[in-house]
Homo-oligomer: A and B are copies of this chain.
Amino acid sequence: MTRFARSALIIIDLQKAIDASYHAVHGPRNNIDAESKIARLLARWRTDKRMIVHIRHDSTFPESAYRPGQIGNCFKEEVAPLPGETVIAKTTNNAFIGTPLEELLRASHVQELLIVGVSTNNSVEATVRMAGNLGFDTYIVADACFTFAKPDYYGRPRSADDVHAMSLANLDGEYCTVIETETLLQNASASGPR
């Protein structure tokens, strides 16, 4: 197991907008303690002075709770950036498109990406797929991500756990490795630089 010495913790779209009721129109989210798990990872990455990147979604859709200028665009309190931490704004699902994320990671000689946030099958999955295909050693922290219930294209209802688990199955071993918060905290070396 890697000790994540040259890793970046990348937190995707964990803004107040994710609590907007329209996300749960087909049923509730899963992993209700994902925020507290991300907060634990964040605290550890801060203590160890490893790289942290906060991705903020600045939606261009007028009706989106993620649109700038609204309270929904603000980060959730428990995972908000501290002054001086890197924040990268994006306007698509994928944190690499139209942003300096790849350039920043390459310049910082980061090879391992730990990706957390929302939603598992949307912006997280789009970013994880791209990260793996760009050649980064990519990990998705399963219990530090969440999503919502959603019917499949033919109308069959799927719970948030169903949607989450199918997304993880598509990603694991093909674009990334699926890991859990506790495993990550136990294995991350405290001695790594950055």
Copies in the complex: 2
Interface size class of A (residues with CB under 8 A): 35 or more
B152 touches A156 (CB 8 A): no
B153 touches A94 (CB 8 A): no
Question: A130 to chain B: which residues have CB within 8 Å?
Answer: 94, 97, 130
A166 touches B174 (CB 8 A): no
Scan residues 136-188 of chain A and give those whose CB is less than 8 A from a CB of chain B.
Answer: 142, 150-154, 156, 158, 161-170, 172, 174-175, 178
A122 beta carbon closer than 8 Å to chain B: yes
Of B126, B134, B150, B169, which one neighbours A133 at CB under 8 angstroms? B126
Query: Top 7 closest A-B pairs, CB basis?
Result: A153-B168, A152-B165, A92-B133, A153-B169, A153-B165, A94-B133, A97-B133
Binding site for B on A (CB under 8 A): 92-94, 97, 121-122, 125-126, 129-130, 132-134, 142, 150-154, 156, 158, 161-170, 172, 174-175, 178
